Every structure is written in C-alpha cells, then in structure tokens.
A and B are shown apart, each in its own frame.
Chain A
Amino acid sequence: MSSPDGAPHVVIRSVSKRYGPLTVLDRVDLTVARGELVTLLGPSGCGKTTLLRLVAGLATPEEGAIAIAGRDVTRVPPHRRNVGVVFQSYALFPHLTVAGNVAFGLAVRGRPREEIDRAVARTLSLVRLEHLGSRRVSALSGGQQQRVALARALAVEPEVLLFDEALSALDRNLREDMQVELRRLLREIGATAIFVTHDQDEALTMSDRIAVMNGGRIEQLADPKTLYARPATLFTLGFVGQSTRVRGTVAAAADGVVTVDTPVGRLSAMGHFAAGSPVVVAARPEHLNVVADAAGHDGGDRARNRVDGRVRAVIFQGSRSRIEVEAGGETLLAELPGRGAADLRPGDDARLVWPVAETFVYPDPEARP
C-alpha cells in the first residue's frame, strides 16, 4: 500500500467558483488516485486555497462536481465528508491539550473512550509526540504544533488529507526535514493527499504529481520530473525552476523541430509551429555549456544550438555559478556546476552550446496576432 494504485479517489470535475464578479476557479478538472499526493502549485491568489476548501466542503462550487471515494459530495457539508485538513495556522484548539486536540474528531463522532485513547496514542507515536500528550498546545514549538495538527487530522482516518501551506510557517531547515518526513509518513499509511504550496522546491520534493495553477485554471498536471523537463506552457516554465529565453520568428519547421530566427542567431527547438509564427525559445540554464574558445570544432553538429557572445557577469553561488552571456543585445543565462566557471571573466568571448532536445518553444504571448 505504498504507491498509488491508480484508482481515482478524489474526482474534481469541471468545477467553477465565483466570488461576486471574480471567477476564482474556472472549470478545473483534477483526479487524485488512491494513495497519491498531488500538489497544487501556483502564485498567490491563483485559487489553490479555494480549490482545497471546495474539497473540504468549507465552500461550495457554482458549477461542477466533486466526488470522494466514489461518493458525490458536491453539496455535502464538511462534517459528513471525512476529510482531514491541516491549516497553515494549524488551528489547534487552545483550550485542549495535545491529546485533547488529537482526540477531538473521534470524540465528536461519539467513539468509546478506550478506542479514542488507543487511536490518540497510535497517532501521536506516528508523529513522534507520544511523550507530549498532556501538554497544552500553547506550550509547543512550531514544529511540534505542526505535528499535532497532522495527528489531529490523521486520527479520524480521513478519506483524503488536505494541506494548505502546512509547512510554510516553519523555518527553512525544519521545513526541509518535515517535507521528507511527511512524505515518508504519508507513503507509509497510504494516504491520499492534496497539498497546497507556492514553494516550487517543496512541490518537487513531495509530490507524485504537481498541478501548476494560474488564474483559476490548471496549466499543467504532471509528475515532477516531466514538469521540470517538459514544461507545457511558458507560465509553467517560469514558475518551476530557472529558464533563459529569447523571442524570435519561426523560419522553418520539419520533423517536430523548428528553426527560429532570433537576435542571438538561428536556433533550433522541439515543437510544431508554422513558419512565420512569433515564438519564445527557452532552455534551462543548466543545459547551457560555456565554451571559452569560440573557434571550436563542433561546427556541423545539428543536434546542438550555438550562440557566440561575451561574458557579462559570473555569479558564484556555492555549489554552482551563473554566467550571463550577452549576444545580439540579449542576455542568456548559463549555469555551471562546481568550479566549472573558474576561468571565466567578464568581457571574455564565450560560446554557449546546448542540445536542441532541451530547447523549448512556446507561442509568444506578447506578439500581436
């Protein structure tokens, strides 16, 4: 029961939500498999929290349907949905102890005393807080409060766990530890989870799949590796990871490869566009290699793009260096690991070389039709 078994567990179908004139969610579709962790990733205000609240039942969509474990819950109130929510502020009950908080959901359900005690003990040991059951929640550290909130949500054995920026209140080191620990814990118990974050590293670390959201829609839904390697839209490319880009016009297209005229020269990229289309050509900086000696011998290699320019800046970032290269009035960004940039100086001539297979091309959003 450690990996998603593929059976749809949470099905969100064409859901729209409006607040007054504002359309916060616009016909969103999303299916989460049993045991899967899907992250909603996107900038502030894109509707992540709203989508989560719709699944929890704390808000109702104007259109569309939501089903959990095969049951249509679109209009079912939250207390009859059996979901577990971990809030950003944790929302722990201040008048109850740690154990009281964890027991809350079961006590509300009227379960017998011994069953509750057993469940509380089990859940607290799951989050490694077994020794703190009698503490007041105000006497806990942020990380401990986070675990209590998780234990409280887990104790009722919910169909789906919902996390709204659950780790963002923790400081960086603790957050990174919790990401790994939480991921392992959720795998262990086979939990189905939807995880909201606007932190791309967190999304890449934790998710089986990531739904990149923008303006109330899902731009791309894919596993982290695919999302990073093949961003479907310019927005996804910009939101997940670094990129370097240049605008141009398609000169020719053949066999899924387009040739684009740009200010830095003629570039090739993977894509289908008609000749004459305005496009943006982009690549991940780590794929760009910097060759100091421009008089190289790989002149005929059609699987690579080549740009000759001049080094403008070398920015040392510890485990890697970023190199800005100016060519044809544009600035391209390359990233070299380790001390690969040790002998580069601003003003040096440099040639950028990178695989065509790692070059993306998107329609230019600013071009006039």
Chain B
Amino acid sequence: MTARLAVAFAWLAAVVTVVFLMAPLATVVAASFSPSPVFDLPLDGVSLRWYERIGRLDGFWPALSLSLQIAVLSTAIALVIGTLAAIAIVRGRLPGAEALATALVSPLMMPGLVLGIALLQYFRAIGFTATWSALVLAHLIVTLPYVARTMIAGLALFDFTLVEAARTLGCTYAGAILRVMVPALAPSFLTAGLFSFLASFDNYPVSIFLTDVRTKTLPIKMLQYIEEAPDPTLAALSTLILAATVILLVASDRLIGLHRMAGTAE
C-alpha cells in the first residue's frame, strides 16, 4: 500500500517536474505564432509573420554568423586539445593527473560572470584587443571542460589493447589510433562536440564582456532586440534555435543512441 503510494507520488513529481521544465519553452513556442505584436499567448489565431521578420532584424545575420563561427571553431579546438589532455590524464601515469583533471573541469563550476570579468581584465592587461580572437579563446575556456570531461569518461572505458591489436595486425601507431580508437570513441566525440557547441552558441555571461559595438554574438544581440522592441520576433527566433537543438539531439540519438551519449551504457 505504502509502496504504491510512493510510486504514485514519484510519478506525480516526475510529471510536475517535466511540466515545470517545459512550460517556459512551450510559452515561447506558442508566443512565436501570435498574430499580435505583444509578447503574449496567441488566443486569436496563428501567424508566421514574426518568423518572416527574423531575417530583417538589424544585424541578425552577422551576429548569427559570428556565433556559429565561434562555436564551431572553439568546439573544434576544444575537441583536439581536450582529447589529448584526456589521453594524458587517463594513460600518462602523470604524477598530478587527478589535479590536472580537476583543473580542466573546474570552469564548469565557475560562474560565467567571474570568468568574463577575469578574462576582460586579463586581455586588457596583456594588451590583447582583437575581439574575434578573444571570443574564440574565451569560448575555448567555456567548452574545454565539456570536452575534457566527456573524453576522460570515454577513454577510461576504452581498452587500449585494441590499439595494440591493430598494431600487430599491420597498423602504424597513428593508423591504429585513427582506425580503431577514433571510431570506438565516436560516441564520446559526438557528445563532447554537441555539448561544447551548444555551450558556446548560447553563452552570454562570458561573451558580454568581450564583445564590442560591431562584434556581437547572437545571444547578446537577442537581449538587445528585446530591450529595443519586445515583440514576438524573438520568440520566433528562440523557437527556431530550440528546433535546431532538438533536431541535432535527435540526429545524434539516431546515430549513436542517447543512452551511449549520456554514458550509461557499456
């Protein structure tokens, strides 16, 4: 009896949590189809007019392009550096491997604001003023922990005997890494890349300190739009971003399975 009650209660809690998590997203999606120019739920019909206006937002395309560039580039660099660092930590019998692992993952726990201010002061101090490069560097710091963490977990489960087996079968060392380790770790790479890309793409608190008038990432531009004209165009844009994210996740799931991404399977 009590057990049943407990299960019922757990179910209820789960439903409430899901509703609580999904409600804001649902609201944004609904608002994006509103025919009226106030940021509101569409009670009188459905319209796509705000979607048409996205492209005409002032400075939208440069901001989108900048955000994509930064996200792709910082993710690519983070994948290489993060994987190498993870190999060193898992394989290298380094004296300070534990500490290095903790340090690599620590920005995950650091408030974005603190990181942003710190970087701003640091870049100023060393006279580094190129906005674009500063953004890539800053986002590298944001994305690296995601990659390092995922790759350390993936490599810890990877059997390096596979590399030796490939070598005895005729592969050079580099060939063995490419033909055996990379495919075997593909799920980890995909997960790391995905999280890293998303973390960079919607980063606001770090970017805000490093952008200038002409170089603004999409999240910063979006906040600016909403201050200037709070109409549902932003809701439409958010809905599109949401949709793109979902498509990315579903595609990855199809490719390798979400359970493998989450690291819960063998």
A residues contacting B by CB (< 8 A) are 56-58, 77-79, 81, 83-85, 87, 89, 91, 93-95, 104-105, 108-109, 138, 152-153, 156
Contact = CB atoms under 8 A, between A and B. Distances in A.
10 contacts: A77-B167, A77-B172, A77-B173, A78-B168, A91-B159, A91-B161, A91-B165, A93-B184, A109-B170, A153-B169
B169 A156 contact: yes
B169 A108 contact: yes
B174 to A, nearest CB: 11
A-B interface, 5 closest residue pairs, ranked by CB to CB distance from nearest: A105-B169, A91-B165, A108-B170, A91-B161, A95-B183
Nearest to A83: B168
Nearest to B187: A95
B180 interface: yes
Contacts of A93: 162, 165-166, 180, 183-184
Nearest to A95: B183
Interface string B91-109: 0000000000000000000
B80 interface: no
Nearest to A162: B168
A95 B168 contact: no
Contact of A85 (B165, B180, B183, B186): B165
Contacts of A57: 167-168
Query: Interface residue tally of chain B, by bracket?
Result: 20 to 34
A91 B162 contact: yes
Given A87-B161, A91-B159, A91-B161, A79 B168 contact: yes
Contacts of A58: 164, 167-168
B175 interface: yes
Interface string B3-23: 000000000000000000000
- Choose among B165, B168, B186 the residue with the greatest number of A CB atoms under 10 Å from its CB: B168
A84 B165 CA distance: 9
Nearest to B170: A108
Nearest to A155: B169
B166 A104 contact: yes
- Which of B159, B165, B167, B180 has the most CB atoms of chain A within a 10 A radius of its CB? B165
A20 to B, nearest CB: 12
Interface of B: 159, 161-162, 164-173, 175, 179-180, 183-184, 186, 266
Contacts of A109: 170
Contacts of A105: 169-170
Q: Which of A83, A85, A87, A108 has the most CB of B within 10 A?
A: A108
A108 B168 contact: no
Contacts of A84: 168
A79 B180 contact: no
A272 to B, nearest CB: 46
A109 B179 CA distance: 13
A94 B184 contact: yes
B266 to A, nearest CB: 8
Contact of A95 (B164, B172, B173, B186): B186
A91 B159 CA distance: 7
A91 B164 contact: yes
A81 B170 CA distance: 8
Nearest to B172: A79
A61 B183 CA distance: 32
A146 to B, nearest CB: 14
Contacts of B167: 57-58, 77-79
Given A91-B162, A93-B180, A95-B183, A85 B168 contact: yes
Contacts of A87: 161, 164-165
B171 A89 contact: no
Contacts of B162: 91, 93
A355 B26 CA distance: 93
Nearest to B186: A95
A133 B186 CA distance: 23
Contacts of B266: 138
A56 B159 contact: no
A289 to B, nearest CB: 50
A104 B183 CA distance: 14
Contacts of B166: 93, 104, 108
A57 B165 CA distance: 11
Contacts of A89: 159, 161
A95 B167 CA distance: 17
Contact of B171 (A85, A94, A108): A108
A152 B166 CA distance: 10
